[in-house]
Structure 1
Amino acid sequence: MDEFIGSIQFNQNGDLLLSSSYLTFQSWTGFIGVLPKSDISNNSKILLSKLRIKKKFHSAPSVARWTTNESILIGNDSGDVELLNLSESSEDNFEVVMSKCQHDGIVTCLDTKFDSNLALSGSDDATIKVWDLNESMSKHTYRAHDFSITSLTFKPNETDCFISTSQDYKSLLWDTRKDKPALNFKHNLTGFPSCSAMSTNDLNMIVLGSEFGELGVYDVRNLSQNMIRKVHDRLIRQIKINQKNLIATVSEDCTTKVSQVVKPSVLNEMDLKTIYSCKHGDYVTGIDWDLRNDSEFVTCSWDGFVKTHLIDLKMQNGH
């Protein structure tokens, strides 16, 4: 049985959350698993079926995200959004807090803010939902896109502002406090934006990835000024930015890369330099930086492997 690992994320304790899906006869199914980072050696193959802490689903979990060190939000291909708590007293180690089917298509993306009661979900049905996890319900539904939502990203330290991208080629900046909450900005990518990220170190930095492997870096103070470079050969699945503003990407070209923004002496001229590259045996689907170590990140792939990666920050800083 092939296990296609679809998402990966650290919590603040360093535990890894993984979601997996696979084909059983004519239907997709899957499960999620939690394991300590200390259990993962470099280039190790993780069989989720062997994990002690796991939960099986009758529909495939498309994405999973921590909301606290003990709580997990799941998006399924049935359109369900589920909130689970880790529970030693439960037979499968998880207690279901919420299970709501309010999307009419696959849940394609989620974003959560740690220790916040708010979360975002996007779907193939082209809708975005804002969830109140304390009330176990969606409080808003937005229909500003025409096709499947490809990514949702909260602005760091805020719950009213976020980015959405879609297969309709639009990228929107949201501020839900406004009467007209969505602002469409021209990203100038060749294909549709497939993923998004915001820097926690530079709150003006937005990064988008495209279906054709392009990476776009933008400044919210002047969105017409942007830097676009082709980094991958195929669609970029996910982007993660660390505290040093290193941009890690994973792609359907089976590679993960780390790019660095280079600022030469010429004013207002910047470039992107690839400082690290590694290959998986299949689509690379998920990525996350270690919250306790700016030089280390993990990736997961449809090849069933979880890999750890180390970046020599001293070499990159020229020391």
Structure 2
Amino acid sequence: MSKASPWGSPMRAPACMESQLGVVRYRRDGTMLLSASSLNSRTWGGSIWVFKDPTGAPNESLCTAGVQTETSIADAAWVLERGILVAADSGAVELWELLDNESLLVNKFTKYEHDDIVTSVSVFPGGTLAVSGSKDFSVQIWDLSQKTPLKAYKAHSGQVNCVSTCPGKEDVFLSCGEDKRVLLWDTRNPKPAKSINVCASNVSPTYVIWHPNKDDTFACGDETGTVYIVNLKNPESAQAVEAHSRSITGLAYSDHSSPLLASISEDCSVVVLNSDSSEVFKDQTHQDFITGVAWSPTDLSSFTTVGWDHKVLHHSVPKDDQPDPPTETKD
């Protein structure tokens, strides 16, 4: 059992959490990852926090582990059970690992392959490969097991806003950027990137995420607050929902058999759409930009949002609007 610090939080964790919360991600067992950032003088600082009990966040004294980072954090993702992949404002991609009964976060590597802020990271299904996107217009493929970059691509002509790996394929991912394009990538092809027409020609897509059960369907959010449900067989017929009045900052699918889609925005609202793209939930409790959203893997009716107001809010979708849970399959 790790010693307690005089402030109540684990000895190895920072004593204080920065004011602006950025990323929230759940591990399969319900453990929650949280990032925080703040501007100190002319320098942005950041930290990573792990909570076995998500209801304890953002109370530092109730965290399982935490660590200060050199710069603020734009994105983060779980890698298998104990790894945390981080997109840093310094241009670095960092891999951290939980050790010592998950009370200690240890840096496994910090690589500066990008020339500007790393905006987004996403891990492929096997947990050994990942992709990152950056303001330097590039995407980078990573071999996490070997702690090395594999290949960089520069198909975007503007900063990359988001990358998202396909749940069922190790070679396929999406990216979107300020060049107003969504790109579908297949790294097995000589020309791996293909443009997908989704948003209006003068609008930038801000976030993309694959459907968890369909490798031909994804969701996209843009700077006007519109959410699109796109089928790759017929992308021109994407369903468009004007869910928000300002830019989309995040999207997350639930684990239901017909997943719900939660969207968050700079308009300080969170909206949940069902499989028919109808709104079944809306909340406007946050008082500043909402920056992170994630569904609980242990309670399918519940999801969590975090924002620049330093709030961690746990929402519940009304029971009548919940679809069925996924059918359990035997190994």
TM-score normalised by length of structure 1 = 0.90
Whether 1:16 aligns to 2:32 is yes
Mapped to 2, the partners of 1:289 and 1:68 lie a distance apart of 17
Per-residue CA deviations over 1:16-46 (Å, capped at 9, x if unaligned) read: 001110011111001000002x3506xxx61
> Greater strand percent: which structure?
1
- The CA deviation at 1:149 is 0.5
User: Alignment partner of 1:40: what SS?
Assistant: helix
Aligned partner of 1:31 in structure 2 is 47
After superposition, where does 1:163-312 map in structure 2 within 5 Å? Answer: 163-189=174-200, 191-242=203-254, 243=256, 244-262=258-276, 272-279=277-284, 280-312=286-318
Check 1:54–1:316 CA distance in 2 against 1; reply closer, same or farther (3 A cut): closer
1:77: Cα distance to partner?
0.5
- Checking the alignment, whether the CA contact within 8 Å between 2:208 and 2:218 is kept in structure 1 is yes
Summarize the Cα distance change of 1:82–1:2 in structure 2 as closer, same or farther, 3 Å threshold.
closer
- Equivalent residue for 2:115? 104
Determine which structure has greater relative contact order: mean sequence separation of CA pairs < 8 Å that are 6+ residues apart, divided by chain length.
Answer: 1
Contact 1:6 1:21 in 2 (8 A): yes
State the 1:135 CA deviation: 1.0
- Percent of pairs identical after alignment? 28
Deviation at 1:115, TM superposition (A): 4.7
By how many angstroms is 1:195 displaced?
0.2
Deviation at 1:48, TM superposition (A): 4.5
Instruction: Using the TM superposition, give the Cα deviation of residue 202 of structure 1 relative to its aligned residue in structure 2, in angstroms.
Output: 3.0
Native 8 Å contact 1:66 1:114 kept in 2: no
Asked if residue 131 in structure 1 is aligned to residue 142 in structure 2, the reply is yes
- Give the alignment partner of residue 154 of structure 2, picking from 129, 143, 154: 143
Shift of 1:201: 2.4
Give the structure 2 partner of residue 158 of structure 1. Answer: 169
Query: Unpaired segments of 5 or more residues in structure 2?
Result: 1-16, 325-331
* Distance of aligned partners of 1:229 and 1:277 in 2 relative to their CA distance in 1, 3 Å threshold: same
Alpha-carbon shift at residue 94 of structure 1 (Å): 1.5
In structure 2, which of residues 46, 51, 72 is the aligned counterpart of residue 60 of structure 1?
72
Structure 1 residue identity aligned to 2:241 = R
Worse-matched range after superposition: 59-68 or 99-108: 59-68
DSSP 3-state at the match of 2:236: coil
Aligned length: 304
Contact kept, 8 Å, 1:67 with 1:114, in 2: the verdict is: no
SS in structure 2 of the partner of residue 64 of structure 1: strand
Q: Give me the whole-angstrom Cα distance separating, in 1, the residues matched to 2:267 and 2:109.
A: 36
Amino acid at match of 1:223: P
Q: Which amino acid aligns with 2:36?
A: S
SS of 1:12's equivalent?
coil
Equivalent-residue separation in structure 1 for 2:274 and 2:60 (angstroms): 33
SS at match of 2:320: helix
The range that moved more, 275-284 or 180-189, is 180-189
Contact 1:32 1:48 in 2 (8 A): no
Distance in structure 2 (CA, Å) of the matches to 1:84 and 1:229: 37
1:58 deviation in Å?
A: 2.2
SS at match of 2:235: coil
Quote the Cα distance in structure 2 between the aligned partners of 1:289 and 1:47: 20
Q: TM-score, normalised by structure 2?
A: 0.87
Work out whether 1:40 is the aligned partner of 2:55.
yes
Code of the residue aligned with 2:281 in structure 1: it is: Y
Query: Structure 1 pair 282/222, CA: closer, same or farther in 2 (3 Å)?
Result: same
Separation in 2 of the partners of 1:188 and 1:32?
33
Report if aligned partners of 2:32, 2:54 keep a CA contact under 8 Å in 1. Answer: no
CA deviation after TM superposition for structure 1 residue 114, in Å: 5.3
Alignment RMSD (CA, Å): 2.0
Rounded Cα–Cα distance in structure 1 between residues aligned with 2:249 and 2:211: 17
Deviates more, 1:198-207 or 1:250-259: 198-207
Distance in 1 (CA, whole Å) between partners of 2:124 and 2:241 is 29
